[in-house]
Structure 1
Amino acid sequence: MKVLVIGPGGREHAIVRSLLADPNVSEVHAAPGNAGISKLVPTHAVDASDPDAVAALASRLTVDLVVVGPEAPLAAGVSDAVRAAGIPVFGPSMAAAQLEASKAFAKEVMAEAGVPTAMAKVAGNAEEAADALDTFGAPYVVKDDGLAAGKGVVVTNNRDEALAHAQSCFDAGGTVVIEEFLDGPEVSVFVLCDGRDTVALSPAQDFKRIFDNDEGPNTGGMGAYTPLDWAPEGLVQEVIDRVAQPTVNQMAHRGTPFVGVLFVGLALTSRGTRVIEFNVRFGDPETQAVLARLKTPLGGLLMAAAKGELDKVQPLRWSKESAVAVVVAAENYPGSPRTGDRIRGLKKVEAIEGVHVIHAGTKLDAEGKVVSAGGRVLAVVALGTDLVEARERAYDGVELVQLEGGQFRTDIGGKAARGEIKVTTPGAAPATTKAKA
């Protein structure tokens, strides 16, 4: 099987790495890729969000499968163009990608499918926004209705700040979705979909804020870990039964079948499991940690989804180890990140047992040296016998990365490793679920 992976980031590097480990995958290409991906497979300088260009490249390479990584190409209709060229593609159509491209659309589908989620109102002007904020009260949750790469959400107790974020979205010609605040720990679950059937991957938890203790502005994600030993028993089946399968059924009923990854962002609230949002692609950096543990060959899974054959897939196999991914970001991220700096120490990082580096915002300079080229520069991913060991290895690796102005969180997976994650069963008092680690 020959596979083309579309995208430039860490998620795509992790996907390429897993595909290369699949004995049934003979060749992998990437477009446009990054410095890390280019050391593994041929890369092609194609605009990932240009449907015709991607379809032409896939045809020229005579690939058997195209895997679309980021959300922007999906929203632009890249999958539609590739399918029209007669090539199987893992990634939803432009119409189905509206589950991420429009939060208002996602809320509509969830309501039709009976999916448990936060109460919400759509606002198109300051007066409507103010009314919605007052309806739900603090903490205020204001989301840009369109694609914002994980950074279009503001959660604050300051009403003026919430209104200001809404106004910035209106000024840009958009609308906002204002929701009730959901308490409890957050969980990410990736569900593979073939338009009819669903298969869930191992849950993960990511860290959105830039600073320790969940302080500072939202980012695309500063780290993740898996598995979640503190998660309630039966959570994955609940996500399939109450969220993913009803959503896939509803999308098929609408005539826009969903093929690809339904990324379900959840809050385990005192009132039960609630969906925070949907994304329509693998999450970053959760993918880096989740795929590090996946033992089932990835290429076969993605092809089964693309061809509508997930019902033939055997139960997934997973490593018993824990995985932790810690993102190293550029100076001034998530604002205007500094780029162009040399990155040193990567070979030393990968010399640590159970550790590898996933490139995200990197490129090769004129001398062939790896330099920073984006906000989230790379992730150090570590496997360990438990979460404690995986964290130690990951942070040992992070300490060896030399990037001027580089920043990272020191608390990825920390509370879970100490057994401090609290899950509240509806109708019961909060209880601390001790992690096995």
Structure 2
Amino acid sequence: MSKILVVGRGGREHALAWKLASSSKVQHVFVAPGNGGTALEKGVTNVEIEPMDFDGLTEFVRKEKIYLTVVGPEEPLVEGIVDFFSDQGLLCFGPSRDAARLEASKSFAKQFLKRHEIPTADFKVFETCEAAIEYVRKIEPPIVIKKDGLAAGKGVVIKESVKEAITAIEDLYRSPSEPVKRIVIEDFLEGEELSYIALVDGLKFRAFSTSQDYKRIYEGDRGPNTGGMGAYSPVSFVDELLEKKIVELIVKPTLKGMVEEGAAYRGFLYFGLMIDKKKNPHVVEYNCRFGDPETQPIMMRLESDLFGLLENTMEGRLDEMDLEFNPGTALTIVMASQGYPANYETGSIIKGTESVIDAKVFHSGTVLTGNRLLTSGGRVLGVTGLGTQFSDARTKAYDSIKKISFAGQQYRSDIGHMELKRIPK
């Protein structure tokens, strides 16, 4: 039996640790640094090491004889944690620093898509505030503006007027805390978003079940982008023909392009897609890791041994395994702190999680202090229901949320509203 280390502190890492701990091949799972939920999870132990402390992580791996390290968040991947581990002969699951550029730089990703003729919105890259403003004065809104670099899922703004776009551009370039050096402005794509996540090893891949997340903070998909306010899996409009288009037009050309450019990809690869009215897929973004909160409903439905899948991938035997899923639906609703995604307070006492029996509560921004569970982040909990039908999963999740409380809590009441419209009356 093997020991596993999961790096990260969010809901994604809680879900991955929970799933890995269920494997008969796993002795124990450690999470660095983890959260209040992983602290309470059976077969899981938190370790007080930060994700960017590569020396501390490798020292712990050697001391505890960890077989495999699984990296959740993007920052350590982009900064080369996999390369750092590999140079020391340690197994670390995720893409190399070069491969992680797909997420690290929006301009690199868009230029990569263009080089390999992968469908995406037309775009332009700007190095200066003045050039960007001059350009937006000549185009029609909606105007999509992307920060070039990591932004925790919040680096995109869509503005409905040229005036609003100019203000957003000025804010990005003149931010006192994090001024940007480069932005991408691209055409607005109409359609419905889809998360398509694959387990990748070079040209080999296995796709996880489809999912859809809800990025805007308010009901009706209004307000600023967040890291994600909810998600569900699977998505019913994805039929065999659409999935074939995704694979042939996007997934295979992406993997082939990375190999050709000397950065063969290994790890979880997230394709953020827009599906237009003719059911043609377009790439909105790449992420070099599992989506959050998509991880939560997907892990709830995954029946295959996640550890076995990762082990086979590391050994070059990914094509020997298939991914099997519960045929039902899983739906996650994120409970967030008041003020998120802007400024928010932490330290509020969370009550009622132990009374939830019809759903799984994955923790994102929590900390366990003594026997008290406190908020410690913007996104706090991901309450996840699993049911034979979409409506069953949704009801379980929303009914379970009513049992949980903390000061200033907020959540969307319409997660899955697009899927609800597709269900026959």
TM range (shorter): over 0.9
Corresponding residue to 2:88 among 82, 85, 97: 85
For structure 1, the residue ranges without an aligned partner over 5 or more in a row are: 420-434
Say if 2:327 is the partner of 1:320. yes
Q: Which residue of 2 aligns with 1:423?
A: none
Aligned residues, how many?
417
Moved more, 165-174 or 139-148: 165-174
Q: Tell me the secondary structure at the aligned position of residue 25 of structure 2.
A: coil
The Cα shift of 1:280 comes to 0.5
Q: Which residue of 2 aligns with 1:362?
A: 366
Corresponding residue to 1:208 among 197, 204, 215: 215
The amino acid across from 1:405 in the alignment is G
For residues 283 and 302 of structure 1, the distance between their equivalents in structure 2, rounded to whole angstroms, comes to 17
Say if 2:52 is the partner of 1:49. yes
Q: What does 1:247-258 align with in structure 2 at a 5 Å threshold?
A: 247-258=254-265
Moved more, 216-225 or 107-116: 107-116
For residues 211 and 125 of structure 2, the distance between their equivalents in structure 1, rounded to whole angstroms, comes to 29
Moved more, 212-221 or 230-239: 230-239
For structure 2, the residue ranges without an aligned partner over 5 or more in a row are: none
Q: What does 1:161-176 align with in structure 2 at a 5 Å threshold?
A: 161-171=164-174, 172-176=179-183
The amino acid across from 1:382 in the alignment is G
Say if 2:29 is the partner of 1:28. yes
Q: Which residue of 1 aligns with 2:100?
A: 97
For the aligned residue pairs, the C-alpha RMSD in angstroms reads 1.5
For residues 134 and 118 of structure 1, the distance between their equivalents in structure 2, rounded to whole angstroms, comes to 19
Q: Tell me the secondary structure at the aligned position of residue 141 of structure 2.
A: coil
Q: Which residue of 2 aligns with 1:144?
A: 147
CA deviations over 1:210-258 (Å, ceiling 9, x no partner): 0100011110000001111122433333222221221122112221111
Q: Tell me the secondary structure at the aligned position of residue 213 of structure 1.
A: coil
Q: What does 1:245-284 align with in structure 2 at a 5 Å threshold?
A: 245-270=252-277, 272-284=280-292
For residues 4 and 242 of structure 2, the distance between their equivalents in structure 1, rounded to whole angstroms, comes to 32
Q: Which residue of 1 aligns with 2:301?
A: 293
Corresponding residue to 2:240 among 205, 226, 233: 233
Q: Which residue of 2 aligns with 1:311?
A: 319
Corresponding residue to 1:340 among 335, 344, 347: 347
Q: Which residue of 1 aligns with 2:380?
A: 377
Distance 1:173 1:205, change over 3 A: closer
Q: Which residue of 1 aligns with 2:191?
A: 184
Q: Which residue of 1 aligns with 2:200?
A: 193
Distance 1:275 1:22, change over 3 A: same
Q: Tell me the secondary structure at the aligned position of residue 413 of structure 2.
A: coil
The amino acid across from 2:40 in the alignment is K
Distance 1:305 1:165, change over 3 A: farther
Contact 2:148 / 2:180 at 8 angstroms: preserved in 1? no
The Cα shift of 1:398 comes to 0.9
The Cα shift of 1:273 comes to 1.1
The amino acid across from 2:190 in the alignment is D
Contact 1:116 / 1:273 at 8 angstroms: preserved in 2? yes
Contact 2:211 / 2:232 at 8 angstroms: preserved in 1? yes
Q: What does 1:358-437 align with in structure 2 at a 5 Å threshold?
A: 358-365=362-369, 367-419=370-422, 435=423
Corresponding residue to 1:331 among 312, 330, 338: 338
Distance 1:135 1:85, change over 3 A: farther
For residues 90 and 333 of structure 2, the distance between their equivalents in structure 1, rounded to whole angstroms, comes to 35
For residues 207 and 406 of structure 2, the distance between their equivalents in structure 1, rounded to whole angstroms, comes to 36
For residues 182 and 42 of structure 1, the distance between their equivalents in structure 2, rounded to whole angstroms, comes to 44
Contact 1:90 / 1:303 at 8 angstroms: preserved in 2? no
The amino acid across from 1:37 in the alignment is T
For residues 361 and 336 of structure 1, the distance between their equivalents in structure 2, rounded to whole angstroms, comes to 14
The amino acid across from 1:340 in the alignment is G
For residues 51 and 387 of structure 1, the distance between their equivalents in structure 2, rounded to whole angstroms, comes to 41
For residues 404 and 248 of structure 1, the distance between their equivalents in structure 2, rounded to whole angstroms, comes to 46
The Cα shift of 1:135 comes to 5.4
The Cα shift of 1:308 comes to 2.6
The amino acid across from 2:288 in the alignment is V
Say if 2:61 is the partner of 1:58. yes
Say if 2:5 is the partner of 1:4. yes
The Cα shift of 1:134 comes to 4.5
Identical counterparts, % of pairs: 39
Contact 2:215 / 2:225 at 8 angstroms: preserved in 1? yes
The Cα shift of 1:174 comes to 2.3
The Cα shift of 1:127 comes to 2.8
The Cα shift of 1:121 comes to 0.6
Q: Tell me the secondary structure at the aligned position of residue 244 of structure 1.
A: helix
Say if 2:14 is the partner of 1:13. yes
Distance 1:238 1:304, change over 3 A: farther
Contact 2:133 / 2:169 at 8 angstroms: preserved in 1? no
Q: Tell me the secondary structure at the aligned position of residue 258 of structure 2.
A: helix
For residues 135 and 239 of structure 1, the distance between their equivalents in structure 2, rounded to whole angstroms, comes to 33
Distance 1:129 1:57, change over 3 A: same
The Cα shift of 1:269 comes to 1.2
The amino acid across from 2:338 in the alignment is E
Moved more, 12-21 or 39-48: 39-48
The Cα shift of 1:362 comes to 0.3
Distance 1:196 1:54, change over 3 A: farther
Corresponding residue to 2:229 among 222, 228, 234: 222
